Amino acid sequence: MEAGLPLPSSSLSQLILTQDDLKKIAAYKAVEYIESGMVLGLGTGSTAKHAVDRIGKLLRQGKLKDIVGIPTSKKTHEQALSLGIPLSDLDSHPVVDLAIDGADEVDPYLNLVKGRGGSLLREKMVEGACKKFVVIVDESKLVNYIGGSGLAMPVEASESLSGIWLRCKAQNFGRKG
Ligand SMILES: O=C[C@H](O)[C@H](O)[C@H](O)COP(=O)(O)O
């Protein structure tokens, strides 16, 4: 199905949408928030991929102009390059106008689990620098509580991060350094 909304209402009752169709519809809706000239955070995963495809198409059609994309993974970098989306990084563009990405879980308070696709750290860097963050999910990602899917929980570990944690802990005990 080509998810070019709106769908004709007469055929709605006969449509059976796949999970991928739903991802695409959500992704295309998010892309409507993009304006020419924006610096965009480009998410990772099977849902965000539809958004990146759509951005590439709108650029080719001349409906979007002067977009700069900041990818959140090597895979997204390669996809965007193949679509001709101009790319940059946070050093050159420390403020991102809008980021679009999927999520692994969303609870009723809009808390998220992200990173099951393996790009948690870069996503946090890019999406933490954005003015607006649009998260696109199909209903399979909705949970009553974080962890409710019962699937793996992405965990981030690095020497520098544990260093930060140790420093915070030391300060809590009233020590410096
Ligand atoms: O690291 C991956 C990202 O957080 C993805 O946005 C997340 O895993 C959702 O991916 P998908 O859209 O493929 O379900």
72 touches ligand 1 (CB under 6 Å)? no
Domain span at 34: 17-152
**Digit-coded pLDDT (tens) for 94-117:** 999 999 999 999 999 999 999 998
Residue listed under structure tokens 């793996």: 152
Residue 60 within a domain:
yes
How long a stretch of residues is the chain? 177
Residue 9, pLDDT score: 55
Ligand 1 centroid vs 14 CA: distance in angstroms?
30
CATH number, domain with residue 118: 3.40.50.1360
Tell me the C-alpha distance between 23 and 56, whole Å.
17
Could you tell me the end-to-end alpha-carbon distance of the chain, in angstroms, rounded to an integer? 58
Residue 10, pLDDT score: 54
What is the β-pairing status of strands 105-106 and 112-113? antiparallel
**Digit-coded pLDDT (tens) for 28-43:** 999 999 999 999 999 9
Residue 161, pLDDT score: 55
Res. 174: pLDDT tops 50: no
- Number of structural domains found in the chain: 1
Residue 81 within a domain:
yes
Ligand 1 centroid vs 113 CA: distance in angstroms?
9
123 is catalytic: yes
Residue 162 within a domain:
no
Res. 173: pLDDT tops 70: no
Ligand 1 centroid vs 110 CA: distance in angstroms?
16
Residue 31, pLDDT score: 98
Residue 114 within a domain:
yes
Both tokens assigned to 137? 């999910």
Residue 8 within a domain:
no
Contact 126, 70 (CB under 8 A): yes
Residue 4 within a domain:
no
Residue 116, pLDDT score: 92
Residue to mutate, 24, 42, 112, 114, ligand 1, most ligand atoms under 8 Å from C-beta: 114
**Digit-coded pLDDT (tens) for 116-159:** 988 999 999 999 999 999 999 999 999 999 999 999 888 877 66
Closest CA to 151 of 113, 98, 118: 113
Residue 12 within a domain:
no
Residue 175, pLDDT score: 37
Residue 146 within a domain:
yes
Res. 55: pLDDT tops 60: yes
Rg (CA), the chain: 18
Q: Which of 2, 78, 123, 156 is catalytic?
A: 123
Categorize the per-residue pLDDT at 170 as very low, low, confident or very high, splitting at 50, 70 and 90. Answer: very low
Closest CA to 97 of 145, 33, 2: 33
What is the β-pairing status of strands 39-42 and 68-71? parallel
Both tokens assigned to 7? 């769908």
pTM score of the predicted model: 0.83
